[in-house]
Structure 1
Amino acid sequence: MAVTKDNIFKPAKSSAEQKASSTDTAARQIVLAEAAERVRKTESLRKLREAREAEAPSIAAPPSRAARKKAAKA
């Protein structure tokens, strides 16, 4: 192994700018991963809901109060 200054001396401390850049990169990766997971979960839940709604018989909503009042007056 060749003797160089990199082998003998400790590497210089990283600057604040490099630390900020690495922190920013890590934070962005985490945010993107969470967003992708959220989209995947939403799509999965939507498919399950649509399948459940397709299997269940459609139930008509009960008439509103205004409709019941009109029917009672007539």
Structure 2
Amino acid sequence: MIKHHTTNALFKPVLSRMEAQKAATDKTAKAIMVQEKSVLDAKTQRLRAARIARDHKI
């Protein structure tokens, strides 16, 4: 069975100006959220370690 390839199957369709702007905004927002999550996780780890150290001193 031979499958016929269409332009949409081989190449991504070109995004409109609004779609491209939305994609750029989504990508930027996701990057910011990932960065904020990593900062929050680092803070949580630091506070957890401080709490454990404090509890072992008592």
Tell me if TM exceeds 0.5: yes
- Between the two proteins, what is the percent identity of the paired residues? 33
5+ unaligned residues in a row in structure 2: which ranges?
Answer: 1-15
1:42 corresponds to which of 37, 41, 44: 44
Match of 1:29 among 28, 31, 34: 31
Runs of 4+ in 1 over 6 A off after TM superposition: none
Amino acid at match of 1:17: E
- The TM-score normalised by the length of structure 2 is 0.71
Unaligned runs of 5+ residues in structure 1 are 1-13, 57-74
Q: Greater helix percent: which structure?
A: 2
Number of corresponding residues: 43
Partner of 1:18: 20
Partner-residue secondary structure (3-state), 1:33: helix
* TM-score normalised per structure 1: 0.56
Aligned-residue CA RMSD (Å):
1.1
